Amino acid sequence: MGVWLLENQEGSTEITFANRSIVSKTRRRDLVAFDWWIKNGDRQLTEIGGNPNLLWTPESDSMVVIDHNMAFDGGVRGGSANLHSGLSGLSA
């Protein structure tokens, strides 16, 4: 059984495809690298929805990365086209 930590992230909203550009390209790149490192292929986002598992707090210009229950997935490979589809969108 895992340990669950909950913290109220007041003023935070979930990242969506439409507002993903509020997160800098550098932060998005770092997130892609982090998820690749821990083999978390669960974080995906497209125009029709997805599973971003990211909260954004505009007041503090901060991103909260949540939900790592799919980490260490042996099926996640470096350079995977599916990893972060839409979210990484470094051109956005």
Instruction: Return the pLDDT at 81.
Output: 45
H helices, E strands: number in the chain = 1, 5
Interatomic CA distance for residues 72 and 58, integer angstroms: 30
Sign of CA dihedral 66, 41, 19, 22: positive
pLDDT in tens, 55-90: 888 888 888 888 777 788 777 765 544 455 555 554
pTM: 0.69
| Token pair listed for 32 | 């892609």
Interatomic CA distance for residues 74 and 23, integer angstroms: 28
| Token pair listed for 14 | 């979930």
Q: What is the mean pLDDT of residues 23-42?
A: 84
Interatomic CA distance for residues 55 and 80, integer angstroms: 24
CB atoms within 10 A of CB 23: 19
| Mean of pLDDT over the chain | 74
Q: Token match 């598992």: residue?
A: 53
pLDDT reading at 34 higher than 50: yes
